[in-house]
Amino acid sequence: MLKRGTKVSSTDLSIRIACGGIAGGIAKTATAPLERLKMLSQTGESGGRSAIALTRHVVKTEGVRGMFAGNATNLLRIFPSKGVVFASSDYYRKMFRVIAGVPDGAQTPGTLSFVAGGCAGVTATALTYPLDFVRGRIAGKGVEKGEKKKYISTLQTIRITVKEEGVGALFKGIRPTLIGSFPYLGIQFGTVGLLESLFPKEGDATNVYRKVMFGATGGVTAGCLTYPNDTIRRMLQLQGTPGYRNYSGYFDCARTVLKEEGIKRFYRGMGVNLVRMAPNTAVQFGAYELLKELLIKR
């Protein structure tokens, strides 16, 4: 076990990465059906159906497993991604506290939590993006009755994409993803940090329940403010697939969609996303805190 205040060791870092990865995997699997509905709405594959009608359509054409399409790939990405996000956020927060001269025992300012979370998001995105791209291809494409699903598994999707579009296609949409990862996770961690400073922990009480509530609030806040960017990156990920137009880049996509379909197009699936984000981030932050309390002596 590791004592608080000691220098971050490789063992401590490994435990934090594992805790973050497990927490992310639990949360993503629990909300995978809502994630699928959100992505189908973002990419235009929903056909204008409501969430309930779209669920029925997916189950009818792809079976119940269709609601979890892309989740296996997502778990391959989420474990290292969320592991790096949570562990590096802890690391960046400690580093920025030293730089800012925050006294030991004092609450971390919300601004430092924002910057630490943003840096952690960029770090994780840069390391795991191709898997996020593959998940977008698998979950972002729907099928009609009698139609064969093109993208099925992780390796098969990578093989088809590289063969038809080249290795560089695996990084389609990385620019908006990197652009969005800093504010998205910055807002998440910043909101949690702000709430922690406003509602400090009393005594030796567990921090898990507070992190569940604060995580849910941070997730919803970040989801609302950064959703249009997420829609754009999903649309860019599907470039090159049948039925999807190509854009010259991020801003071309944003301008074209805004001109042809209006601002509402950027918010398709927003309702489902908000329903998904609250439990997703609540479980992530709560599970991470619980696992840390169990495995690391604070």
Q: Counting beta carbons within 10 angstroms of the beta carbon of residue 94, is it exposed (0 to 12), middle (13 to 18) or buried (19 or more)?
A: middle
Contact 219, 190 (CB under 8 A): no
User: How many domains would you assign to the chain?
Assistant: 1
Specify the pLDDT at position 196: 87
Which residues, at least 6 apart from 252, have a Cβ–Cβ distance to it below 8 Å? none
On whether residue 73 sits in a domain, the answer given is: yes
On whether residue 117 sits in a domain, the answer given is: yes
Specify the pLDDT at position 96: 92
List, for the chain, all residue ranges whose pLDDT scores fall below the cut of 70.
1-10, 144-146, 203-205, 297-298
Report the 10 Å Cβ neighbour count for 231.
27
pLDDT in tens, 123-135: 998 888 888 888 8
Contact 225, 124 (CB under 8 A): no
On whether residue 3 sits in a domain, the answer given is: no
Specify the pLDDT at position 4: 43
Decide: helix, strand or coil at residue 213. Answer: helix
Beta-strand ranges (E) seen in 31-185 are: none
For the chain, the first-to-last Cα distance in angstroms comes to 9
Domain that holds residue 284: 10-295
Amino acid, single-letter form, for residue 102: V
Specify the pLDDT at position 5: 45
Specify the pLDDT at position 286: 92
On whether residue 98 sits in a domain, the answer given is: yes
